[in-house]
Amino acid sequence: MNWLQDIKWDRDGLVPVIAQEAATGDVLMFAWMNAEALAETAASGRAVYWSRSRQRLWRKGEESGHVQQVHELRLDCDNDVVLLKVTQLGHEPASPSIACHTGRHSCFYQRLQDGAWQAVEPVLKDPHRIYTK
């Protein structure tokens, strides 16, 4: 897989990844991948990340059911950030989808307003009902 050698991995062997909803352009989340995660993502068409807290591969949706189907993988101009264009699956009704572990559509749900961070997107499903562990 020579294409993996084109990526500028950080000193821990990771590359930052942005997941963007293909249909809307919404930025859903930010995560990390190692070479194994990126190779599996490319081969399977399903987003696989590296969990720094768990120190293992994390297949998006393995606990929540909120899987990311990958349509495109893109690399930025410096070869040090990957962009995934995805369809977020696993939530009924399907729109808006849930990508964030907080039960929201996007992990970027806080906006700076009047000198403080304010949640500006609703919780679509209680995280305690998403995660049973």
Rounded CA gap, 43 and 108, in Å? Answer: 28
| Tens-digit pLDDT profile for residues 10-50 | 999 999 999 999 999 999 999 999 999 999 999 999 999 99
CB within 8 Å of 60: residues ≥ 6 apart? 46, 47, 48, 49, 66, 67, 68
Q: How confident is residue 66, by pLDDT bands cut at 50, 70 and 90?
A: confident
Q: 20 φ, ψ to 5°?
A: -120, 135
User: Which domains occur in the chain, in start order?
Assistant: 2-130 (3.10.20.810)
62 three-state secondary structure: coil
Alpha helices in the chain, H assignment, sequence order: 2-5, 35-44, 127-130
CB within 8 Å of 116: residues ≥ 6 apart? none
Average pLDDT over residues 52-67: 90
Model pTM? 0.83
Average pLDDT over residues 70-80: 96
- As a 3-state breakdown, the chain gives helix, strand, coil percent values, each rounded to 5, of 15, 35, 50
